[in-house]
A and B are shown apart, each in its own frame.
Chain A
């Protein structure tokens, strides 16, 4: 596999996606919403709380941080849908497949085009989030909550894995979807498991400590490998030209 060839595809897709307002808005809105919204909510809770904040505030903040994983799974679905179904709608896949580029290089290029802006936005948003949370909670807690090992695990392991999981899942959906919007709708199920984890963390049934996060990361990694294998099989010249709808 030639990374340079995949990078040509990725750069081209990034250029096209940069002109799609919906995608740019999604890249900005979610990280900004989570990055400002949750710290403000924390601040509100700190202001209104009369009990022992140290007892429950860390768990609450920890559960909020799962939203960076949810975001990493949500954002790339629209990008991947446009990058693959968009090509299908514009019927530009056949000319692309007629170039001396392997299927894997094209797939990697499209994956990079969805992965890089998503992770970039997630990391930038999370910096804002961590700074604001520390500003609002360092007083009552008596220490800086962030940075933390669990946040590092979320940002550098789980978010990239969730992003790859969403992209590979979108590739599978793209082979059957006839337009980007329906692909996005199908892809809506992608982040349901993460919301489930968030709720369990929030109600305290599943503590989101580093051990449990590592278990989730391991499960996610296995899932990503399986989906990568499946999407590689489905993103195949002959399959695309003769089987894709």
Chain B
């Protein structure tokens, strides 16, 4: 659905996006993670043909970027939700959707059906005739998402859809994205909410001007950082920790209160060995659990590495 090859965007001497290559498959929810100013919005704007890349190429929804003849075709096949909702507040939700549907040249009977279906899906049908100025932020964001769907696009670009929303409104919007995921829509989701990416996305890419990594949230979590086994003891001591260290060498063992943390590569194989070492050193185990790095750990590690190159 999206194939980008070394997409680059420079604004004067500033490189906003540098050689980004990625693929997004049909029906996939692809999360684009990165700090503010990482180039996420610029990448989406390039992929949506709103701005032209300085170099590189891409094919989006069957259209070639930069090809004049494909530009309007591409815009009719995709739905773009910008970071700012950008709705007409003096008009109603229905009128907002109707306007954008007309601009997308949806025939009137289909447009009426689509608007009703979307507003019902967003639980806003009863409020369809109220001016948007009276809506809460979360409700406006739902109308904005409905706007991106009014012409039934095959690919959605959602740029920070939960930014600046309170937790309740953010959840409301996230639920809508989950519904769209269930409908097998292809979604390109820009976010800096790692939790959101982990819950919603099939794969994520971490961007900081350059694309640092791409993978499923699970593979990123387990692929790039060590896993740790935590042993909760009846009573922890430095002497016990030293004894365990000597038995488990060269593994890294750390004592914190009554908890021993051991870095492992393969928990299934190594955990029985760890338990035996603790018991042999005279420790009494209350519980043994596994700590996996969160997506946040991976993200921070990669972004930090990018900031401080070796």
Contact = CB atoms under 8 A, between A and B. Distances in A.
A220 to B, nearest CB: 33
A92 B85 CA distance: 7
B14 to A, nearest CB: 11
Interface residues of B, number: 31
A8 B102 contact: yes
B75 A99 contact: yes
B52 A238 contact: yes
Interface stretch (A11-19, A24-32, A145-153): A11-19
B103 A8 contact: yes
Contacts of B88: 12, 16, 90, 92
Interface stretch (B17-25, B76-84, B265-273): B76-84
Contacts, number: 71
A227 B73 CA distance: 30
Contacts of B166: none
Interface residues of A, number: 24
A98 B75 contact: yes
Main SS at interface, chain A: helix
B103 A93 contact: no
Interface of B: 11, 45, 48, 50-52, 72-73, 75-76, 78-80, 82, 84-91, 95, 99-100, 102-105, 144, 147
Name the 8 nearest CB pairs between A and B, nearest first: A91-B84, A92-B86, A98-B80, A99-B103, A100-B75, A100-B76, A100-B72, A91-B86
Interface of A: 5, 8-9, 12, 15-16, 19, 90-102, 237-238, 241-242
21 contacts: A9-B103, A12-B99, A19-B90, A90-B86, A90-B88, A90-B89, A91-B85, A91-B86, A92-B87, A94-B82, A94-B84, A95-B86, A95-B87, A96-B103, A97-B50, A98-B48, A98-B79, A100-B75, A100-B104, A241-B51, A242-B11
